[in-house]
A and B are shown apart, each in its own frame.
Chain A
Amino acid sequence: MNEQELRAVVIVTLKTIAPEVEEGDLRPDRPLRNQVDLDSMDWLNFLIGLHEKLKVDIPEADYARLVTLGDVLDYLKTKLGR
């Protein structure tokens, strides 16, 4: 899976939680949860969606590192061994 495909998976997963999201409006360097208004339940469901699609394990202790969309993509890349 290349970077573009990974990004597409993340956006699709995000849209299942927040269908109104426009990809073009997302700033990769800003806190994702503020931009998209995700509460803890939304956030958990977002991560569960990524876990199910990408088969990655995301321990709760790592949540603090996942702030921006860029962070999420970098984290997943590392997890997927790229």
Chain B
Amino acid sequence: MIEFKLPSLGADMDEGKLLEWKVSPGDTVKKGQVVAIVDTSKAAVDVEIWAEGTVFELLVEPGETIPVGTVMATLREAGESPLAPPAGRGVGGEGVSAGRRRISPAARKHAEELGVDIESVVGTGPEGAVTLADVEQAAAKVSPARTAPAPDRTLDRAAEMRKAIAAAMGRSKREIPHYYLSEPVPMRRATDWLAKANEGRPITSRLLMAVVQLKAVAVALKKFPELNGFFRDGAFQPAAAAHIGVAISLRQGGLIAPAIHDVGEKTLEQLMLDLTDLVKRTRVGSLRSSEMSDPTITVTNLGEQGVAAVYGVIYPPQVALVGFGRIAEQPWAENGALTVLPVVTASLAADHRVSDGHRGALFLAELRDLLQQPESM
């Protein structure tokens, strides 16, 4: 039996509210399939499953708010006999006890908060499971005065997002010893190359410099695995591929940095399609769980707002953030001559527990060199 748990959808999420199941008991699911929609402080997220099997039982009801890690559903693995009793469930008179009753974690937590004896609550969920509603009903019967008001879920999303960002960024600054580096990168070749590449393209398939920069970051990361991955449980876990979180600001305030997967392996055309789609879905609040939980590094581009450079705050548990400022013409001295060139300041904020400034500097130099050969990407 496989347990499907609510995944963490980012460092700033510790609970989610189930909005809708996209599957029913008996359905077969495959890897990557969207099985539920869960509301977080940032977006309504399509939660994917990363196992294959047949849905056996849904343990959480729409409307319930549950902590990350809560078992939401159980599935039978392929090949598991459909007639076999689910593991951990007694059959034939032995092993059946009150302790085996199905109680949703949210119900258990809420019962504690309300001071309700969970064992005395009558379950009305599937197979007698005790649900959140059962707990609330029991609490109302026991002592109406002690019933806590349901948490206000209609809170302004912008306010919730601000709180979530504050929590994640506060944690980042408390836990991560950041170091910062920056490097001016000549962009003459890249802008000329891009202008030429776009000349022959219809407007609907033109590329933005942002995708060239993303690709360059991903390619540079191949030589610097210590900047790409997660710092968890006191140790660094490098990631096998660069899933780049792209910081996307929302018009109503706040930001989300969902991932474009495998950036290093994609063509610029594919990245442009992915970025366009991601920005569109982020703005309407429709993201997939893997996009929320997967980013192995973040790239932010504040040049559009006209700043020269950005020194980012790392999004935990990631260990680095690359920033790009405005691309603007600047005087440039080289080989004893002074010229004027478009230049961008690339910056790196990185976790000193995992890497040192020396390696960070080499990474920025690699990034600078790659941006001098845009045709190679």
Contacts and interface: CB of A to CB of B under 8 A. Distances in A.
A59 B209 CA distance: 16
A1 interface: no
A41 B251 contact: no
A51 interface: yes
Interface in A18-75: 18-20, 37, 39-41, 44-45, 47-48, 51, 57-61
Given A20-B251, A47-B203, A41 B195 contact: no
A48 B205 CA distance: 10
B210 interface: yes
Interface size class of B (residues with CB under 8 A): 10 to 19
Contacts, number: 37
Interface in B187-230: 195, 198-199, 202-204, 206, 208-210
A40 B198 contact: no
B203 A41 contact: no
B210 A48 contact: no
Given A41-B275, A51-B204, A61 B199 contact: yes
A41 B247 CA distance: 13
B304 interface: yes
Given A39-B304, A41-B208, A60-B203, 14 more contacts: A20-B252, A40-B304, A41-B276, A44-B208, A45-B276, A48-B203, A48-B204, A51-B203, A51-B204, A57-B202, A57-B203, A58-B203, A60-B198, A61-B199
**Shortest Cβ-Cβ A-B pairs, 6 listed:** A39-B304, A60-B198, A51-B203, A40-B208, A41-B279, A48-B203
Interface of A: 18-20, 37, 39-41, 44-45, 47-48, 51, 57-61
